[in-house]
Amino acid sequence: MQKLLAILLMISLWVGFTAPAQAASNTHLVPCESSAAFQERMHSAPQNYYFDEPYQLYAANLLCGEEGLPHLQLRLDRALDIVIPFGIFFYFAGFVGWSGRAYLIGGKQTKNPEETEIFINIPLALRSFMQGLLWPLLAFKELTTGELTAKESELSVSPR
């Protein structure tokens, strides 16, 4: 608990004492509709639906760099554009890992653990799948009870 409080204090001090970054206001980006390089790219692209529609949307809504390619500005009001895909990826990766971990741990408790790694035990796989759906809660529970981490006496020291 003391380590957790120390880490939280360190993070809050670090965030509190750093000055917020101030970005220059679009010194090198111009609206795509007024970018000569973008206009050249748009006119040299094949004339069909798959090129016309995106180029028209880019020209109306985005900013382009010197090379004529559209750039997305990362601003705080657009943070959800990054947070939502990252959250989905993080949840899915954790789901896969936790389900696999639960299956292997459950397989060790059977009478033939090698068999469960070769032949899929359907009831165990379904139980592991259901556990994987709640992996953030289960991970927090195991972290707070000490099941998730190894005790220091169980850790070996490298001879190097």
Give the closest residue to 132 by CA, choosing from 87, 102, 89: 102
> Both 34 and 85 in a single domain?
no
> Both 59 and 90 in a single domain?
no
> Both 52 and 84 in a single domain?
no
Which of these three, 39, 71, 103, is where a domain ends?
Answer: 71
DSSP sequence for 106-146:
HHHTSS-HHHHHHS--HHHHHHHHHHHHTHHHHHHHHHHHT
Stronger pLDDT, 48 or 91, i.e. the higher one: 91
Domain range holding 67? 30-71
Taking the C-alpha atoms of residue 2 and residue 6, their distance in angstroms, rounded to an integer, is 6
pLDDT at 7 over 70: yes
Give percent above pLDDT 90 in the chain: 40
Question: How does pLDDT run across 78-123, given as a tens digit for each residue?
Answer: 788 888 999 999 999 999 999 999 999 999 999 999 998 899 999 9
Question: How does pLDDT run across 136-156, given as a tens digit for each residue?
Answer: 999 999 999 999 898 888 888
Predicted confidence at residue 90, as pLDDT, reads 97
In the predicted model, what is the mean pLDDT of residues 6-16?
75
Taking the C-alpha atoms of residue 99 and residue 125, their distance in angstroms, rounded to an integer, is 8
pLDDT at 10 over 90: no
In the predicted model, what is the mean pLDDT of residues 22-34?
73
Predicted confidence at residue 125, as pLDDT, reads 96
- Please state, rounded to an integer, the average pLDDT across all residues of the chain: 86
Which of these three, 71, 103, 132, is where a domain ends?
Answer: 71
> Both 65 and 89 in a single domain?
no
pLDDT at 49 over 90: no
> Both 57 and 84 in a single domain?
no
Determine, yes or no, domain membership for 22: no
Determine, yes or no, domain membership for 14: no
Determine, yes or no, domain membership for 16: no
In the predicted model, what is the mean pLDDT of residues 4-24?
68
Count of domains for the chain: 2
> Both 53 and 96 in a single domain?
no
The two three-digit tokens of residue 91, written as one number:
């949840």
